[in-house]
Structure 1
Amino acid sequence: MRKIFEVDNSEAVTEVIEDAYNWVVNPDVWRDIGIGAIRILLIIAFGQLVIWIIHKAIDRFLERDTKRLPLRMRRVQTVGRLLKNIASYVLYFVIGMLVLSEFNINLGPLLAGAGVLGLAIGFGAQSLVKDVIAGFFIILEDQFAVGDVIETGKFKGTVEVIGLRATRIQSWTGEVHIIPNGMISDVTNFSLNNSLAVIDIPIPHEENIERTTEAINHTLSQLKEPNLVRTPELIGIQSLNASEVVLRIVAECRPNTQAAVTRAINIALKKALDERRMEKDNG
């Protein structure tokens, strides 16, 4: 009995080896594999070409609308990146389905299962849906764009990425904050309009106010600062106290550059007033 079992087992192994050998040397099998591989490569290559064409079309569409409509370049870049991501996700899904069909996989049950799974995930991921919808409204309403300096809640910094689910903000000290879009409510955008740099200059009472204002105005007119929109203006006396007069200067500058402009004006005025004081002492 044992010998009969061993003979049957040996014959079964031999049949498996023969079947595998016949499959390997069968030219029809390799022809079908080659045709299938070529079809899969063509599907992937054609899909990548379609994605590239759609990305170029999005760039051209947004570039044309930028010239026709008053859209900010940073908003255009944000919308373009979002549209490209959506198009890529959809097309990669289609490419994946086509590749699976080449392996004779029945996609009907797979799609039905994906639909049921998606429905279950939808019920369990309401916060995710909320974040995605909030992200769309942030972009469509132009609340802020990539590169803007914003403050929301306890976070303030430069917007690095506006994603479908979350927005990434980098503070000026380097920390990166990732905030779900659904949690972004009250937003202060420091980059929508030009900023104002306000500088108060204390002048001792013993100084001649007229000559001092002349020196300040001359310095402001000669100031070269790339972030200035127009020449800073000395608007006059802001306040008085027992020891000094405080003069106020207002400078309109590019969005969120008031700190740099303030420093440039302070340096220029310090040099000018020091030179005037030295001339007065020498005279």
Structure 2
Amino acid sequence: MAFVTRFFTDLGQWIHEHITKPEMIASIFWIVVKIILIYVVAKICIKIADKTIAHMISARDKSPLKFDRRRTNTIGSLIHNLIAYTINLICIMLILGQVGLNIGPLLAGAGVLGLAIGFGAQSLVKDVITGFFIIFEDQFGVGDVIQIDSFKGTVEEIGIRVTRIKSWTGEVHIIPNGNIKQVTNFSTYNSLAVVDVTIPLHLDIDKATEILKETVKHVQLLTDDIVKEPEVLGVQMVGTTDLKIRIIAECKPTRQFNVTRLLNIEIKKQLNITQIEVL
């Protein structure tokens, strides 16, 4: 108890001798003013950054191009956090400098540590940066069918470090974002189903063409995957004993295989009914 009493007595005496001096009071006052000013400026900078981010998001919403609102908000939050952390770190460093702490050794230590981490984690940094740009540029999204090198499948997950693709046979390919050099996205635009019907050369081409036109109109009524009335382009190739008539149908992205199968089935049925031989 006596120790505690003596401690507070000595502390009070030190404050009386040092803090109560006019020059010390003035010095403390200006230090506090500078700290408050640094804090206020930091908050203002963060507010300005938030308004800029909100304006960018609003501009994307009004753009004639279609953007994923959820992804846009995610990017906005990511940029906000990055700016806020950077400004707050600078603010802390400036405040420490105002209270008399030497931040030189601290910065030097951080630089050495950062250099060591940089050499040991170059691939990690590359993966993270590439992942950020994949998300920011909206190169592909979850559910898209894409091909990266020899891997083709549906995007299961887009992470900051890796992308997961599930092939149609069930395998999941985990690809570091830094290794993604070229991407083919099959889900961006409508796809095209192409069917070639081979018939004997001696048959009536006009009759076969009319039957095919009626058949493809019927097929369009059977599925929502076809976005535009299929076209019978006509004779694609003439051989010595047969010829090929080509049919195309514009479909929803990645649905061309389903439509191709449906067209083949319905065309075969109709040609059998009309007794037109298919080779």
Contact 2:152 2:167 in 1 (8 A): yes
Contact 2:57 2:72 in 1 (8 A): no
What's the CA shift string for 1:79-112, capped at 9, x where partnerless? 4456667879999xx9xxxxxxxxxxxxx9xx98
Contact 1:82 1:163 in 2 (8 A): no
Matches of 2:202 and 2:179, distance apart in 1: 56
1:184 counterpart = 2:175: no
Structure 2: stretches of 5+ with no match in the other structure: 1-53, 89-102
Contact 1:159 1:169 in 2 (8 A): yes
1:206 counterpart = 2:202: yes
1:165 counterpart = 2:168: no
What amino acid is the match of 1:214? E
Change (3 A) 1:89 1:175: farther
What's the CA shift string for 1:104-142, capped at 9, x where partnerless? xxxx9xx98888755532331011111111112222222
Matches of 2:121 and 2:158, distance apart in 1: 20
- Offset of 1:149 from its aligned partner? 1.0
Matches of 2:170 and 2:83, distance apart in 1: 35
1:68 counterpart = 2:62: yes
CA RMSD between the two structures? 3.3
Matches of 2:133 and 2:203, distance apart in 1: 56
Contact 1:78 1:145 in 2 (8 A): no
What amino acid is the match of 1:227? D
Contact 2:232 2:248 in 1 (8 A): yes
1:155 maps to: 151
1:135 counterpart = 2:112: no
1:215 maps to: 211
What's the CA shift string for 1:227-279, capped at 9, x where partnerless? 1110110001000112211000111111111101101111111111111118x
Matches of 1:64 and 1:227, distance apart in 2: 33
Change (3 A) 1:83 1:64: closer
1:239 maps to: 237
Contact 2:191 2:254 in 1 (8 A): yes
Structure 1: stretches of 5+ with no match in the other structure: 1-59, 95-107
Q: 3-state DSSP class of the match of 1:201?
A: strand
1:254 counterpart = 2:252: yes
1:195 maps to: 191
Contact 1:78 1:162 in 2 (8 A): no
Scaled by the length of structure 2, what TM-score is found? 0.62
How do 1:92-131 residues align onto structure 2 when only pairs under 5 Å count?
Answer: 120-131=116-127
Change (3 A) 1:138 1:121: same
Give the number of equivalent residue pairs: 204
* Worse overlay, 155-164 or 113-122: 113-122
Identical-pair percentage: 50
Matches of 2:200 and 2:266, distance apart in 1: 19
Matches of 2:176 and 2:214, distance apart in 1: 50
